[in-house]
Structure 1
Amino acid sequence: MQYFEDIAVGATAAFGSYPVTRDEVIAFAEKYDPQPFHLSDEAAAKTHFGRLSASGWHSCAMTMAMLVEHIGEHRQASLGSPGIDELKWLKPVYPGDTLRCVTEVLGKRVSASRPEMGIVKSRMQVFNQDDVMVMTFVSNALMQTRPTGAPAS
């Protein structure tokens, strides 16, 4: 298991491969963000997007799916998150794109009120298949500190 103490400030990771499909873009938009440019080629063509594009919130959800898979593969002692900072949607995400993630640990500290957990601050960058950054944010992840007697990773 990878605990708070095992995370190094400055560490980077690259992971994920998420193919963006037209059907998923429309289904997400119908349920959560039913703006015309997320639902219709014709409506999107009349906007600065130029064509059907994924909701920014859908981009966040796809990123979360890649992140959870990465956390599971690395057996990280994740305890969720109190939120994110500096969310920016830089470029549209289109059906046919394939997304991937790059993270860098910016800092960490043990929680003052809950010493059994620490807070890890990381910058997340999301890129498409052309290495164009489409989204960035700073995450604040809660991680379990190493229990007494647990082996170091």
Structure 2
Amino acid sequence: MPRAFEDFHVGDVFELGSQKITHEEIVRFAQAYDPQPRHLDHEDLIASGWHVTATFMRLYTEGVLLHAEAEVSPGVDELRWLRPVRPGDVLTGRVTVVGLAASLSRPDCGILQQRGEFLDDRERPVMRIMIYGLMRRRQAANP
């Protein structure tokens, strides 16, 4: 049964797993979405921050959203790229629930606030983001 809003608590931590970033993925993403020279063909190649964020979103979706009564996201805050990501880096994601609030526009939902972070293989943060998610309440999901 998917998690409803009531099943989340401040302090809950969700480990999202890891993803290795390859040279080919960095270049392919850059060619399609962020064709800056540092992301395409540079001796000190680094991943686009948008590539890093998209990779995080994939792990977050698979680790949390697909197992929850998730609706849409009203937004994100404080997206920060803290250090460069290079080919071969293995990034590990996690999110921590930091806030819960009633939705003012959707009484059948609550708003889940989570702090997401990606760590490199030396456990240094490479990205941080504050995510807001609209989650259906149990009563609305199972009347």
TM-score in same-fold range (> 0.5): yes
Q: 1:90 matched to which residue of 2? A: 82
Q: Measure the CA separation in 2 of the matches of 1:149 and 1:88.
A: 34
Amino acid of the residue matched to residue 139 of structure 1? I
State the match for 1:107 in structure 2: 99
Structure 1 residue 92: Cα displacement: 0.5
Q: Give the structure 1 partner of residue 53 of structure 2.
A: 60
1:119 corresponds to which residue?
Answer: 111
3-state DSSP of counterpart to 1:54: coil
Alpha carbons of structure 1 residues 127 and 149: separation in structure 2 relative to 1, 3 Å: closer
Instruction: Determine if contact 2:23/2:88 at 8 Å carries over to the other structure.
Output: yes
Specify every segment of 5 or more residues in structure 2 that has no aligned partner in the other structure, as ranges.
none
Aligned length: 142
Are the aligned partners of 1:14 and 1:101 in contact in 2 as well (CA < 8 Å)?
yes
Q: CA RMSD in A?
A: 1.6
Structure 1 residue 142: Cα displacement: 1.0
In 2 relative to 1, CA 3–149 (structure 1 residues): closer, same or farther, beyond 3 Å? closer
SS at match of 2:64: helix
- Cα distance in 1 for partners of 2:121, 2:9 equals 28
Tell me, in whole angstroms, the C-alpha distance in 1 between the residues paired with 2:7 and 2:134: 13
Contact 1:16 1:67 in 2 (8 A): no
Give ranges in structure 1 of 5+ residues lacking alignment.
Answer: 43-50
Give, in whole Å, the separation in 2 of the partners of 1:137 and 1:149: 28
Shift of 1:149: 8.1
Runs of 4+ aligned structure 1 residues displaced above 2 Å come to 147-151
